[in-house]
Amino acid sequence: MAQQAPLLRADELNVSFGGLRVLQAVSLEVDEGEVLGVIGPNGAGKTTLFNTICGFVRPDSGALSFDGRRLLPRPHRLTRLGIARTLQGLGLFPNLSALDNVVAGATHRSRTGPVGALLASPWAERHELRLRDQAMDMLEQLGIADAAHRPCASLPYGIRKRAALARALISEPRLLLLDEPAVGLSATEITELADIVRGLRQRTTVMLVEHHMEFVMNLCDRLVVLDFGEVIATGTPAQVREDPAVQRAYLGEAVAADA
Ligand SMILES: Nc1ncnc2c1ncn2[C@@H]1O[C@H](COP(=O)(O)OP(=O)(O)OP(=O)(O)O)[C@@H](O)[C@H]1O
């Protein structure tokens, strides 16, 4: 049987900032339906890898492909391509309600356009109402429907994180990139988040960057480990845990932290 092509593929990505080589010949594949974790010590290049996939950073060389086609990402066109991302800083509009923030994530699906909005055509209105229903549905699925009409600035951090996730999901991405989804959450919230992400498998592929080892080890199907901008290991959590190069990379970090 022919093997399915990966949903996302990176080939020999090289990125440098000034003289600093931040990604060195990074190659990886993300298969449809999996949860792939990217881990590595501080400064390993994880965020830079995400930023390269999203088009915020241009690689010096190397290539990306998405769904078998060359990917030349541009941040404002990502959702149209089928890629959504949550940010470490969440990036929610603080004065808008959680619901309005989620609707804002679906702007590329809004067919109203400036003329339609001016004319306020019944068709456009119906479409916008449908979007709001879907956004409400999404908040319900993530267990935060109660927060729908409250301004984001007034919500606890854990709820805001879920609102940011709902906003990414409303665009119905094929690939969802989560940047440190567990950071700032309580132990209970982290367990709940893992359940939510597991549930997402049915509808999207997930690639996440994370430091929280227990979360990553319990949740991810596969891991890619970066150290000093290089992929030092790829495999299941169990394989990666036993990998001597990974142990050395993290041990080095622990020793540095103790010093
Ligand atoms: N815009 C930039 N200009 C210069 N150097 C940068 C820039 N962005 C990142 N770096 C450097 O690139 C290296 C990798 O950074 P990056 O943020 O990608 O690592 P990371 O693995 O995400 O780290 P962390 O886990 O601490 O968030 C670091 O040495 C960082 O200081």
Same domain, 75 and 178: yes
* Centroid of ligand 1 to alpha carbon of 179 (angstroms): 13
What is the Cα 35 distance to its own chain's centre?
11
Same domain, 113 and 229: no
Judge whether 60 lies within some domain. Answer: yes
Same domain, 178 and 164: no
Judge whether 254 lies within some domain. Answer: no
Judge whether 105 lies within some domain. Answer: yes
Q: Whose CA is nearest to atom 6 of ligand 1?
A: 17
Ligand 1 environment, Cβ below 6 A: 17, 20, 22, 40, 42-48
pLDDT tens readout for residues 104-143: 877 655 555 555 555 566 666 777 788 888 889 989 999 8
Among 59-63, 110-114, 199-203, 252-256, which range has the highest average pLDDT?
59-63
**Beta pairing partners, 143:** none
Judge whether 195 lies within some domain. Answer: no
Same domain, 179 and 78: yes
Among the candidates 172, 203, 234, a domain finishes at: 172
Please say whether the dihedral angle defined by the alpha carbons of residues 72, 56, 101 and 220, taken in this order, is positive or negative.
positive
pLDDT tens readout for residues 228-239: 999 999 999 999
CB-based contact 74:81 (threshold 8 Å): no
Among the candidates 141, 172, 203, a domain finishes at: 172
Same domain, 66 and 134: no
Alpha helices in the chain (DSSP H): 46-54, 78-81, 98-104, 113-119, 122-141, 157-169, 187-200, 213-219, 237-242, 244-258
* Centroid of ligand 1 to alpha carbon of 195 (angstroms): 30
Asked if residue 97 has pLDDT above 90, the reply is no
Q: Whose CA is nearest to atom 8 of ligand 1?
A: 48
Judge whether 259 lies within some domain. Answer: no
CA distance 196 to 194: 5
CB-based contact 37:87 (threshold 8 Å): no
What global pTM score does this model have? 0.87
CA distance 205 to 32: 6
Among the candidates 147, 172, 197, a domain finishes at: 172
Same domain, 74 and 1: yes
Atom of ligand 1 nearest to the CA of 51: 18
Asked if residue 218 has pLDDT above 80, the reply is yes
Same domain, 76 and 178: yes
* Centroid of ligand 1 to alpha carbon of 23 (angstroms): 10
Q: Give the domain extent around 131.
A: 91-172
Query: Exposed, middle or buried: residue 153 (CB in 10 Å: 0-12, 13-18, 19+)?
Result: exposed
| Two structure tokens written together for 168 | 């990414």
Same domain, 134 and 17: no
CA distance 31 to 9: 9
Indicate the SS3 state at residue 250.
helix
Same domain, 62 and 168: no
Same domain, 144 and 158: yes
Out of 13, 14, 20, mutate this one to test ligand 1's pocket (max ligand atoms within 8 Å of CB): namely: 20
pLDDT given at position 191: 94
CA distance 176 to 207: 6
**Beta pairing partners, 39:** 225
CA distance 84 to 77: 10
Same domain, 74 and 179: yes
Judge whether 197 lies within some domain. Answer: no
Same domain, 168 and 178: no
Judge whether 106 lies within some domain. Answer: yes
Judge whether 202 lies within some domain. Answer: no
DSSP assignment string, 164-224: HHHHHHTT--SEEEEESTTTT--HHHHHHHHHHHHHHTTT-EEEEE---HHHHHHH-SEEE
Q: Residue 15's domain is classified under what CATH number? A: 3.40.50.300
For residue 96, what pLDDT band results from cuts at 50, 70 and 90? confident
ipTM entry? 0.96
Number of domains in the chain: 2
CB-based contact 39:211 (threshold 8 Å): yes
Average pLDDT, the chain: 87
pLDDT tens readout for residues 145-164: 898 898 988 899 999 999 99
